[in-house]
Structure 1
């Protein structure tokens, strides 16, 4: 009986995990964010200033946003937002992303993803 209880609570986690992984694999830049988070806004502004499109998943707009955060915690070792993925790889939060940008490593990561996806760099979602 205990196993069936576990199975019913795990099913939504599997579906949510698959949704998170699909979003990460389908997009070059994914920011798991909250609309009220200043660090999240700082990270989004960084990509906007570089003219790089990103997909923002605003966890406070989802009924199961806490479940998203729990799964992201298991995936990345941290529960705080933002959780930023580039080219399928977790790169960190806002300060980690800013550090990558200062070191000249952020744009090459995005550029590598665009090349792998065969996107024309002159399209609006590309780099300047």
Structure 2
């Protein structure tokens, strides 16, 4: 869990993914379209990716990826991010965290 929190706090927007996950790709694309450049950590390419995946599940991320952090805070998985985008609050969260500027 410490590794997750450390990585999540290093950049305004952080997404934990797996290279073969289409929902992870979709969330990455959404962030890029909003003007953010999130840090991407592919768990299947991390040396301790399985442990990190277990930590994300304990945090409440089911499925484990994509797991999104904004401003160091856990936002949720794809359905949570999409809900925030639909209601218009995702963009403001990214602005508040200084992941995008307007």
Shorter-chain TM-score above 0.5:
yes
Q: How far is the alpha carbon of 1:18 from its aligned partner?
A: 2.3
Taking structure 2 as the reference length, the TM-score comes to: 0.88
Q: How does 1:71-90 map to 2 (within 5 A)?
A: 71-90=55-74
Q: Confirm or deny: 8 A CA contact 1:50 1:127 kept in the other structure.
A: no
Q: How does 1:1-128 map to 2 (within 5 A)?
A: 17-114=1-98, 126-127=100-101
Q: Deviations over 1:21-62 (max 9, x none)?
A: 111122111111001000000000000111111011100101
Output the aligned Cα RMSD: 1.6
Aligned mates of 1:97, 1:56 — CA distance in 2: 15
Q: Which has the higher helix share?
A: 1
Greater C-alpha radius of gyration: 1
Taking structure 1 as the reference length, the TM-score comes to: 0.72
Aligned mates of 1:94, 1:79 — CA distance in 2: 9
The higher-RCO structure (CA 8 Å, 6+ apart) is 2
